Amino acid sequence: MDNPDSNARSFNLAFYKNFLFKNDLVFRLLIGLIGLVCLFLFIHFREVQVDALELGSKASSYVVAQLDFDFPDEEATFFLKQEALKDLGPIFTLDDRKIAQVRYDFEYYLIHDNLWKEKLKETSLEDLYKETDALVSFLKRLRFADVLTLKKMKKFNIQVSDFMVFTPAKEEKEILLPPEYWQRLEELFLKQQVFPQAEADFVLSFFAEKEWFLQLDGRIEKSVRSIIENSIPQKYTEIKAGTRIIAGGEKVTSRHIAMLSAMKKAVSEKRSLLSFPSIVGNLIISLVFIVLTAMYLRIDQSRVLASLQKLSLLVCTMILTLAFAKVTEYVLLQNASPLEAVRYPLIVPFAAFLLSILFNSRLALFGSTFLAILLSITLIVDHTQFLVINLTAALIVIVSSASLKKRKEVFQVGGKCLLGIIPVILAFNFLTKNFWSLALLQDIGLSALFMLIISVLVMGMLPILESLFNVLTDITLMEYTDPSSELLKRLALEMPGTYQHSLVLGNIAEALASAIGANALLCRVATLYHDIGKLANAHFFTENQTLDVNIHQLLTPAESAQVIISHVKDGVAIAKKYHLPQPFIDVIQEHHGTMLVYYFYHQELERQMGDKAKINEALFRYLGPKPKSKESAIIMLADGVEAASRSLEKTGEEALRGLIDKVVKDRVDDDQLNECNLTFAELMTIKKTLLKVLLVSHHVRIKYPEKKA
């Protein structure tokens, strides 16, 4: 007995699969939602728009404060520091060489003169050495400065325990320090060292009798100045809303740039990203962009809108471009002035490349315009210049990519784009009266770098996008026309008849596809491979038979039909072995649909004396499926007409028109074209184009007279 829970789960799973995979609307809404979310995040988390000025340049217009803010005023801070350092005088120290010399003299005196032993009977020579070491160390630390300097140092909490008030006269070199200074020095010395008073007096008296040279101590003076400067807090100046920051034509200074940076920060802090009005406003803007895009796709690109695959690829391309723009902006903002280095960033050509190659020129033009407007109002760039130079570059890419057939030509298109935007860069420089300068060369060099980066990115992204979304570009299709490829070599060598048939059929299918707006290049290339299944049994097909013996004479009609039908299944297997694209495999499966192999069916019918009841019709029909795309339907019709036209004795216009009408009618009556979305108008165009092509290929030549001896 079946488990009810298991049956319920199976039913639910089947329901969801049927709902999700057959109801394309769900996926379209999901793709649209992903695009909406990404666009909203890009717009909502944009950088604050504040005029960017280049240091040393002249402002093109007035800039006023958008709101009240404080900015770090470096000029005011500098003046405050200068005021704090105003009373700071020079700092002196005793000459180290003089200290060493006096110490040597004192030790010499202790060794060679024993009179000190009568004064200090209880003091040893070792004790005096220790006290001398301590005094020498203290004298090396001792500094001299004036009263105002010491007062300033105390104000800023700088230690002055080793400082004494004294300033030598400039004209004197070696001087005797006044007795009161040695008394003060003795107090400081004894305060820091524990020695008997008598010993200290004896040692200090010897040093006090010497003349000393006071030299400037630049290291300590610099350290004191640095401490005082660092103690001065940053001065912030308040700017009221509406205050003029810079006038038109005024030279830009670091003060102006600091004011603009502070205003940008204030505007950014005031703008709350989590506030409800901000979120709703940006969401509405994003929704408007998405709706306008959907309307355009419905009117002009219905095939893209109808295909989940192409719609997903379009959204992915847009997201990649937005990500590229955000990374570029982040790199630019690492500089103090965002556009100081890169004034004309190129971003839109990246999308123009991908859309032109993966879709078509019309969609590339719309997408480039859409992105140029969006990026110019959201990125930290000069809106007018960014819009003009990016649209110019995108248009050059779109026009140049129309004939793109090889991957390496992407770099050639990038070079053409660079040459095309150089006049625009020159124009911008002339408008700013910056005629010939290093900045002009820098602009051209950076534009070249941008185009190189874009070309490399496009070369790297194309194979990935083609693989992920199963898309065939013209570049990839042209690669499959290379006659030196292994599979086409096998076709030419092992099945020359089929290969020639495929070449002729490719030209016919290409003309038909061009007439109704289908993918002409896909039709031409796919027909090269549509009969590769015949490689498994090449001599069972008349175009490859070189002998008078027909191998089908050894088989029953049903067996012959199965051999003919099997070339579709064998073709799919070979295509997968050689990793041919899925659209090629679809053409291989669909170009015969579920048609009847009528030649052998008719033979079997004669064998059964016309009794259809004795014939299993399924044995004589291709397994299908029926053509799902216009390209497969075109190849089916072209294949049938081209093959049948070879058996005509007369190839005039009336004969060919009758043949075309019969072949097309047979397919229509057999319901082979019900799933490919071909309209009656397109079918009539196909018939007219077929007639023109066949008349040209079957034109009559004059008969040359035989040359007589």
Q: Which residue has the tokens 């072949």?
A: 663
pLDDT computed for residue 643 by the predictor? 85
| Mean of all residue pLDDT scores within the chain | 83
pLDDT computed for residue 245 by the predictor? 78
What distance in Å separates the CA atoms of residue 121 and residue 114, rounded to the nearest whole number? Answer: 11
Residue type, 478: M
pLDDT computed for residue 396 by the predictor? 95
Q: Are 45 and 271 in contact (CB under 8 A)?
A: no
For 293-296, the CB contacts below 8 A with 24+ separation are: 293/370, 294/32, 296/366
**DSSP class per residue in 159-200:** --TTEEE----TT-SEEPPPHHHHHHHHHHHHHHS---HHHH
Residue 368, burial from CB neighbour count under 10 angstroms (0-12, 13-18, 19+)? buried
**The pLDDT of residue 231 is above 70:** yes
Q: Are 88 and 152 in contact (CB under 8 A)?
A: yes
What distance in Å separates the CA atoms of residue 305 and residue 294, rounded to the nearest whole number? Answer: 8
% of the chain residues with pLDDT over 90: 31
Residue 392 neighbours by CB under 8 Å, 6+ apart = 420, 421, 424
User: How is residue 215 annotated by DSSP?
Assistant: E
Joined together, the tokens standing for residue 599 give 């030649």
Where residue 94 falls (left for φ over 0; alpha for ψ -120 to 50; beta otherwise) is beta
Q: Are 62 and 256 in contact (CB under 8 A)?
A: no
pLDDT (tens digit per residue) in 425-444: 888 888 766 666 677 888 88
pLDDT: is 699 or 579 the higher one? 579
What distance in Å separates the CA atoms of residue 683 and residue 673, rounded to the nearest whole number? Answer: 10
Q: What is the mean pLDDT of residues 341-349?
A: 84
What distance in Å separates the CA atoms of residue 220 and residue 207, rounded to the nearest whole number? Answer: 24
pLDDT computed for residue 52 by the predictor? 61
pLDDT (tens digit per residue) in 659-691: 999 999 999 999 999 998 889 999 999 999 999
* Cis before 583 (ω within 30): no
Lowest mean pLDDT among 25-34, 108-117, 316-325: 108-117
Q: Which residue has the tokens 């579920």?
A: 594
pLDDT computed for residue 19 by the predictor? 43
Lowest mean pLDDT among 138-147, 260-269, 361-370: 260-269
Strand, helix or coil at 216?
Answer: strand
What distance in Å separates the CA atoms of residue 186 and residue 189, rounded to the nearest whole number? Answer: 5
Q: Which residue has the tokens 């699969």?
A: 17
pLDDT: is 693 or 265 the higher one? 693
pLDDT computed for residue 433 by the predictor? 65
414 — pLDDT class (breaks 50, 70, 90) = very high
Joined together, the tokens standing for residue 101 give 């010399």
What distance in Å separates the CA atoms of residue 89 and residue 92, rounded to the nearest whole number? Answer: 10
pLDDT (tens digit per residue) in 80-121: 888 888 888 888 888 888 889 988 888 888 888 877 777 777
Q: Which residue has the tokens 């944009």?
A: 46
**Bridge pairing between strands 244-246 and 163-165:** unpaired
What distance in Å separates the CA atoms of residue 177 and residue 183, rounded to the nearest whole number? Answer: 11
**Bridge pairing between strands 212-216 and 174-175:** antiparallel
pLDDT: is 59 or 585 the higher one? 585
Lowest mean pLDDT among 78-92, 518-532, 535-549: 535-549
**The pLDDT of residue 338 is above 50:** no
pLDDT (tens digit per residue) in 609-651: 878 888 888 888 999 899 999 999 999 999 999 888 877 777 7
DSSP H helices in 23-112? 24-44, 74-84, 96-112
> Max Cα separation, the chain?
158
Question: Of the spans 5-14, 29-38, 194-203, which averages the highest pLDDT?
Answer: 29-38
With vertex at residue 115, the alpha carbon angle to CA 109 and CA 121, rounded to the nearest 5 degrees, is: 110
364 — pLDDT class (breaks 50, 70, 90) = very high
Please give the order of strands across the beta sheet that includes 143-145: 163-165, 143-145, 92-94, 212-216, 174-175
| Whole-number CA gyration radius for the chain | 46
User: How is residue 150 annotated by DSSP?
Assistant: H
pLDDT (tens digit per residue) in 179-204: 777 877 777 777 766 677 787 788 88
Q: According to the 3-state scheme, what is the secondary structure of 675-709?
A: CCCCCHHHHHHHHHHHHHHHHHHCCCCCCCCCCCC
Q: What are phi and psi of 104, to 5 degrees?
A: -60, -45
